[in-house]
Amino acid sequence: MAEHEHTHETHPEIVKRLKRAEGHLKSVIAMIEAGKPCLDIAQQLHAVEKAIINAKRTLIQDHLDHCLEDTVGALPREQRQSIDEFKTITKYL
């Protein structure tokens, strides 16, 4: 498979979310090393998890909105509905 650059409008926001998750993860590691309460650690881990999930969801949605559209091209209305439903259902992943 040929590699080519994929840059979309949402990528800077995805990077921002991942850097935020990275910061939270470093905080979690420091908290564990410092012997902080498990509840506090769990809350920080939850923040890491949510940031990564949101970044992944944004990336997938962006890919579908741009790359799938480019591949499929213009479709008649009855075929378009299946693509639109596919894009909508992926929001529940």
The pTM of the full predicted model, rounded to 2 decimals, is 0.71
Q: What is the pLDDT of residue 4?
A: 58
The domain 11-92: what is its CATH number? Answer: 1.20.58.1000
What angle do helix axes 38-63 and 11-33 make, rounded to 10 degrees? Answer: 160
The residue to which tokens 């905080």 are assigned: 27
> What is the predicted pLDDT for the residue at 93?
74
Mean pLDDT of 44-73: 85
Give the chain's mean pLDDT: 85
What tokens were used for 52? 């990564």
Residue 49 in this model has a pLDDT that exceeds 90: yes
In this model, does residue 85 exceed pLDDT 60? yes
- Provide the residue ranges of all domains of the chain, joining segments of one domain with +: 11-92
Say if residues 61 and 53 touch (Cβ distance below 8 Å). Answer: no
